[in-house]
Amino acid sequence: MPLLKILHYPAPLLKEKSPLVTEFNDELRQLAEDMAETMYDAPGVGLAAPQVGVLQRLIVLDCSASDEPNELIFAVNPEIISGEGDSLEEEGCLSVPGFWANVKRFTQVTMRYQDVEGIFHERTADGLLGICMQHEIDHLQGLLFVDRLSPLKRSLFKKKYLKMLKEQEQENEA
Ligand code: NI
């Protein structure tokens, strides 16, 4: 299967809200498989459909530790139905390469979602998986983790990131 191209900030599509998935067909299942392959190749622990240019409410996650077996989750139309506790952990994103920042999230969340056959599930998680669920669902709302930083930190990010992009462009031209 081909690896999908991951969009990088400031691609306009990353700011769009994705509509619900209504058809659970082979096309959806193929997209989910391709996204998983792209995520593992990156490597990353989560990927949302808008990051590969598809506006659909689909995310893939695998937050298993490196010494554990893989635990791949395909979540269609996912939503956080409850959350508790405050956490502040460092996050990064395949769409914002080279930048990490502490983001405020719930410590533990319950996610309701459908699998690629349309069956409903609920999953409660804390730790990395809990944060990952919140981060990936944000993508479906057109939100990046940098949108959750304070205005000051966000403007510092923009400055730093755009400068980095410019330097990369100049290197490519040279
Ligand atoms: Ni992300």
Return the percent helix, strand and coil in the chain, to nearest 5.
35, 25, 35
Q: Is the pLDDT of residue 26 over 80?
A: yes
On the question of pLDDT at 41 being above 70, the answer is yes
Please tell me the predicted confidence (pLDDT) of residue 132.
Answer: 98
Distance 104 CA to ligand 1 centre (A): 15
Q: Which amino acid belongs to residue 2?
A: P
Distance 139 CA to ligand 1 centre (A): 7
pLDDT at residue 174, as a whole number: 78
What would the pLDDT profile of 109-142 be if each residue is shown by its tens digit?
Answer: 999 999 999 999 999 999 999 999 999 999 999 9
> Can you give the pLDDT at residue 1?
65
Residue 157 has pLDDT above 80, yes or no: yes
Mean pLDDT of the chain: 96
Instruction: Give the active site residue among 33, 71, 136, 171.
Output: 136
Question: Burial of 118 by CB count in 10 Å (0-12 exposed, 13-18 middle, 19+ buried)?
Answer: middle
How confident is the model at residue 66, as a pLDDT?
Answer: 85
The pLDDT tens digits of the residues spanning 1-17 come to 689 999 999 999 999 99
Residue 159 reports pLDDT greater than 80: yes
Distance 134 CA to ligand 1 centre (A): 10
**pTM to 2 decimals?**
0.95
pLDDT band at 54 (very low <50, low <70, confident <90, very high): very high
Structure tokens at 167: 């330097």
pLDDT above 70 for 62:
yes
* Burial class, 33, CB count within 10 angstroms (exposed 0-12 / middle 13-18 / buried 19+): middle
DSSP symbol at 116 = T
Q: Which residue has the higher pLDDT, 66 or 120?
A: 120
Check: CB of residue 47 under 8 Å from CB of residue 35. Answer: yes
Kindly give the distance from the C-alpha atom of residue 15 to the centroid of ligand 1, in angstroms, as a whole number: 12
Q: Which residue has the higher pLDDT, 1 or 42?
A: 42
Mean pLDDT of 140-169: 94
- List CB-based neighbours of ion ligand 1 within 5 Å: 93
In this prediction, residue 2 carries a pLDDT of: 82
**All domains of the chain in start order, with CATH:** 12-147 (3.90.45.10)
* 67 or 138: which leads in pLDDT: 138
User: What spacing in Å lies between the alpha carbon of 92 and ligand 1's midpoint?
Assistant: 7
Dist CA 125 CA 73 (whole Å) = 13
For the question of residue 136 being annotated catalytic, the response is yes
